[in-house]
């Protein structure tokens, strides 16, 4: 369900989107589709040599999940105006990502209601992984 432009207010929560658990296959499919050849996300040996416990998810995979979360909250891709994310912590195979957000400001502009949101992803442990902001036009 998209946000309702008539009732949206500071503090309104965006409908949470929870994605299926990330697997190594998810990463093997995302990399080529996004044109990202970085072996860090698919090659265990490479990731270990770089000092990580193993492969980890592309930050842009989680940001892509946030994109789906936002177009659903906004009622369409065209209503997503601005979208920013900081990749604060790594997301790993096995993690279940939930996209969440709350409205931080609402203003009228050109017949539209512009809605600023604080958005983030968190995993099953409740740890925030990527944090950002978005502006939706309702």
Partner 1 sequence: MPPSKEMIGRVLSTGSATVDAEHVASFAAALGDTNPEYETVAPPTYPIAFMTQAMSGGMNTFLELGLNFMTLVHGEQEFEFVRPVKVGETLELTGRIADIYEKTNSAGATLDFVVMETEGKDSAGKPVFYSRNVLISKRI
65, 115, 121, 138: which one binds partner 1 (CB under 8 A): 65
Report if residue 19 touches partner 1, rule: CB under 8 A: yes
- Give, as one character, the DSSP assignment of residue 106: E
- Shortest separation between residue 35's beta carbon and partner 1, angstroms: 3
Report if residue 35 touches partner 1, rule: CB under 8 A: yes
Q: Interaction with partner 1 in 87-106: which residues (CB under 8 A)? A: 87
- What is the distance in angstroms between the CA of the first residue and the CA of the last residue of the chain? 13
| Torsion 121-95-30-87 (CA) sign | positive
Element (H, E) at 74: helix 59-74
Report if residue 78 touches partner 1, rule: CB under 8 A: yes
Report if residue 114 touches partner 1, rule: CB under 8 A: no
Size of the site for partner 1 (CB under 8 A): 32
CA dihedral angle for residue 98, residue 58, residue 128, residue 130, rounded to 10 degrees: -100
40-52 in b/e form (b: 16+ CB < 10 A) is bbbeeeebeeeee
CA-CA distance, 21 to 56, in Å (whole number)? 13
Report the residue number, 12 or 52, with the smaller CB distance to partner 1. Answer: 52
2, 43, 83, 114: which one binds partner 1 (CB under 8 A): 83
Q: Interface with partner 1 by CB under 8 A: which residues? A: 19-20, 26, 29-30, 33-36, 50, 59-61, 63-68, 70-71, 76-78, 80-87
């Amino acid at each position: 369900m998209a946000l309702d432009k008539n009732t949206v207010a500071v503090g309104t929560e965006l409908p949470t989107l929870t994605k299926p658990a990330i697997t190594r296959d998810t990463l093997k499919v995302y990399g080529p589709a996004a044109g990202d050849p970085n072996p860090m996300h698919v090659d265990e040996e490479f990731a270990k040599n770089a000092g990580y416990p193993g492969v980890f998810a592309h930050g842009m995979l989680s940001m892509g999940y946030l994109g789906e979360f936002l177009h659903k909250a906004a009622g369409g891709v065209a209503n997503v105006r601005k979208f920013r994310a900081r990749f604060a912590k790594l997301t790993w195979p096995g993690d279940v990502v939930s996209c969440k957000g709350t409205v931080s400001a609402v203003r009228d502009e050109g017949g539209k209601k512009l809605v600023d949101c604080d958005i983030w992803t968190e995993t099953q442990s409740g740890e925030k992984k990527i944090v950002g902001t978005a502006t939706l036009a309702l």
